[in-house]
Structure 1
Amino acid sequence: MTHILHIDASANTTTTSVSRAASAKLVADLGGTVTYRDLAQTPLPQIDGPWADARLTDPDTRSAEDAERLELSDEIVAEAAAADVIVIGTPIYNFAAPASLKAWMDLIARPRVTFRYSENGPEGLLTGKKAIIAVASGGVPVGSEMDFLSSHLRVFLGFIGITDVEFVAAKDIVPPLAA
């Protein structure tokens, strides 16, 4: 059975969120077991110096404090690793990803865990997965020169090993919702 990681990034948690409605429809159409993470309802912390140091510390020599700092990141990585398909519902805010989605990206990018550097350059370790991104663009055409979210997310997902990435305009999945 397909396991789906469903992520919503819109700060709009009401029934008027087009990206949330679109990602929910995608997940329902795919079917399978679902792990859900709402980045607005349970905000993720921004990374800081101690966290960045902890992620570079050899797991065998990490302190209890380092392990605690990485606990949420470990959980997020495990969710992505367990998924066959990752569905992300996100708006474009100010031409790019919402801060909540960027925080998720920062927490999941872990050397020796989700990527590694080899003699041939970076190698993603979360392979064999598909990502489908439902984008509510508010007038910025998805994939256009003004859409920095799509290119950033495609490069990022590829960096961690997810190269089968599909972007869908949320308005093509669900009709505009009344405010």
Structure 2
Amino acid sequence: MLDSLRNDSQLSGTSYHDALQEELTRLRSQHRNVLLWEAHSIASVLPRLFEGKLPDFNIGTQDGRTAAPSVQEAIQRVAAASPFTWIANGRFKGGFITRHAGAPQDGVHAVQLEMCQSTYMSENAPFHYLPEVAKKVEPVVRGMVNGALDAIVKLTANASRAK
């Protein structure tokens, strides 16, 4: 499961990835299921890479391979109820960490959120944080994380009852 972090030829042995693996192992020793939330931000328009404007939220679970369906569905419900644009498993299906650490069958539910910078900051130099803009997105992101955690709690409870 998590050994794939150590085996990747490009990132093998990096202290960050070693520390992440250790923390996931520690958390899994205490909890049946854990959430790994890999979040990044990106410019909303990148003409050299993508045509048009990216959705505000790009949610990735490697097409459902890195998190249980109920976890992804909980996140999508929050995104759908928000005023922001979103897509799941579109251009961003999950970065290195999501792909290599996500193993829902082993209790590690990994989700990537690639969020457009325009949802909280100026995308033009000097790239200022915009509190009035950010206050609209903060509760949505918090809701996505809490929804994912609630789904994980339910997964754990259902697994305990099934024993």
TM-score (norm 1): 0.29
TM-score (norm 2): 0.31
Decide which structure has greater helix share: 2
Decide which structure has greater strand share: 1
